[in-house]
Structure 1
Amino acid sequence: MCLLEEEVVGRDGWRVQRRHFLGYWHDRPCFAIEIDDRHQLDPMDYQVGSLWQILGRVEEQLFALAGRAAQLLNWERDHQFCGRCGAPMDADPAERAMRCQPCGVISYPRIAPCVIMLVTRGEELLLANNVNHPAGMYSTLAGFIEAGETAEETLIREVKEEVGLDVGRLRYFHSQSWPFPNQLMLGFFAEYRGGEIRCDPEEIADARWFHYRALPRVPPPASVAGQLIQHYVNALSNPVE
């Protein structure tokens, strides 16, 4: 994956539908553009793909830039009309927002906060196969923060709902923008406090305790789930004296 020079747009006759300034990449201004999908890209020069296809295959900062581009383009496309009165929305010239002139509604880019947590029990990690994930792929638990909840309350609730366990000693790890489609993942560690695994069949196909030296296939380090797992395994493998 590489960033394209601006002259490519004019040279190849692309019709730009939407355009957003993203910031600077190596001191050069960078924009996200959406071109008319009726334009046929030359397969000898370009490969059409998705964010999933580049996850873990490009440097983290470049993936974050691509994710930001996708989120902004999707947000503008999904807010062409006001959700209150139905009138067309206009891009605000002074800030990143869509405005409805008739009724005054302002829509900013949407971010959905989520918690993602690695539950541990000594040398064991609780990992689950989500019903929407490929068979054999195990990851950490995760869930969206609901209105009125704190991140910590969401974590405790989601673990109880998805696998029936009680947890405590919550420790924040770090956050990650996750553009599938517009999440902000808040990573935590949590320690097992009690209960037996009982999977919610609508969410979890399987959940088990895995020893840190015998893990199944897990997410790549490019994801906060993979980083949570890697961090804990490294801490167990190289204990501080």
Structure 2
Amino acid sequence: MINEIAPNIFNISLLSREAIKSEEQVLCYKNGKVLMKTLEDKFLIPKKNELGEWVTEGILLGEVDGEKCFIAEGKDKMPQGFEYVGMRDIRGQSDKLFKWVTAVGFHLFSWISDNKFCGRCGSSMEFKENERALKCTSCKNIIFPKLSPAIIVAITKGDKLLLAKNKLHPGSFYSLIAGYVEAGETIEETVKREVMEEVGINVKNIRYYKSQPWPFSSSLMLGFFAEYDGDKPIKVDGIELSHADWFDADNLPEIPNKDSVAGEMIRIFREKNKI
């Protein structure tokens, strides 16, 4: 998965503003995109000396294999040889460490940008000294990074797997049923509710698999396996999904890659059930 970067080490730091040194990397975000140095079809994280005075100060994101990496707000005019790249294009790169550092930077930068002012009293926010959090300069309200828990579930019916097509996904891309946990709800209850809401069936034998942070949507994905229960036919909600069906291991449609827990779980099913 995208977050499994060993033997590389990425230590996320407490938030602080610092002057960026010449050889240190800096991720500059603007309007949901990140500034990258382009080399043919490959993207590279810029270093301070490549950007000159375009950026001088940043927020320390952490250390990547012992080297500091910063996040900063991008500007409208780009330096020559650089371009703003969408996060979907970042996910298309092959370098897992590059993708993970850029994604975590995007998550934290978006959270900081969305919380410049206190939601309780309207005063400005500052970095908390001893935690990765923001603190109000007036009422001392503390805000931690946004992290929304969501379930994702691989439902089997004998030797078949339920896959669904989201209306927002182009082409023939299919994935697992997923959805956010609501207030007052256990994650097991979320699995049952989301499955019923999206495809109209019941499930049983719900088994936790593993979790995965997903910075692109500020989420924490909680993966489950479950089994079809009963005799209800699939009935897609028509709101989020356009189609869902049972698939054999040897006849799967286009599925998520190995970066996501969804892709990993689908491949586990395929290896277990292929002829």
- Taking only the aligned residue pairs, the percentage that are identical comes to 38
Greater shift in the superposed pair: 87-96 or 217-226 = 87-96
The AA in structure 1 aligned to 2:54 is W
After TM superposition, the structure 1 = structure 2 runs for residues 88-237 of structure 1, keeping only pairs within 5 Å, are: 88-194=124-230, 195-237=232-274
Q: Aligned partners of 2:76 and 2:171: how far apart in 1?
A: 36
Counterpart-to-counterpart distance in 1, 2:106 and 2:143: 17
After TM superposition, list the pairs within 5 Å mapping 1:54-69 onto structure 2. 54-69=90-105
* Change beyond 3 A, Cα 1:40–1:62: closer
Distance in 1 separating the partners of 2:48 and 2:272: 46
Deviations 1:67-121 (A, max 9, x none): 1100111111100111111112222233322211222211111100100111111
Cross-structure match for 1:8: 50
TM-superposed CA distance for 1:140, in Å, is 0.5
How far does residue 136 in structure 1 lie from its aligned partner after superposition? 1.7
Deviations 1:172-214 (A, max 9, x none): 2222221232011111111111221111111211111111111
Match status 1:73 vs 2:109: yes
* Separation in 2, partners of 1:16, 1:133: 39
AA in 1 matched with 2:258: P
Q: Distance between the aligned counterparts of 1:20 and 1:152, measured in 2? A: 38
SS where residue 68 of structure 1 aligns? helix
Amino acid at match of 1:6: K
Check 1:227–1:101 CA distance in 2 against 1; reply closer, same or farther (3 A cut): same
Give, in whole Å, the separation in 2 of the partners of 1:102 and 1:47: 39
Q: Which amino acid aligns with 1:99?
A: K
TM-score computed with the length of structure 1 as normaliser: 0.89
CA change 1:181–1:20 in 2 (3 A) is: farther
| Alignment CA distance shift 1:4-1:152 (3 Å) | same
2: distance between equivalents of 1:14 and 1:181?
28
What is the distance in 1 between the residues matched to 2:212 and 2:226?
Answer: 18
Q: Which amino acid aligns with 1:133?
A: H
Q: How far off its partner does 1:150 sit?
A: 1.6
Greater strand percent: which structure? 2
Residue aligning to 1:29: 68
Deviating more after overlay: 65-74 vs 48-57: 48-57
Q: Following the alignment from structure 1 to structure 2, what is the Cα–Cα distance between the partners of residues 66 and 181?
A: 13
Structure 1: unaligned runs, 5 residues or longer: none
Give 4+ residue runs of structure 1 displaced > 4 Å after superposition.
none
TM-score where L is the length of structure 2: 0.79
> Between Structure 1 and Structure 2, how many residues are aligned?
232
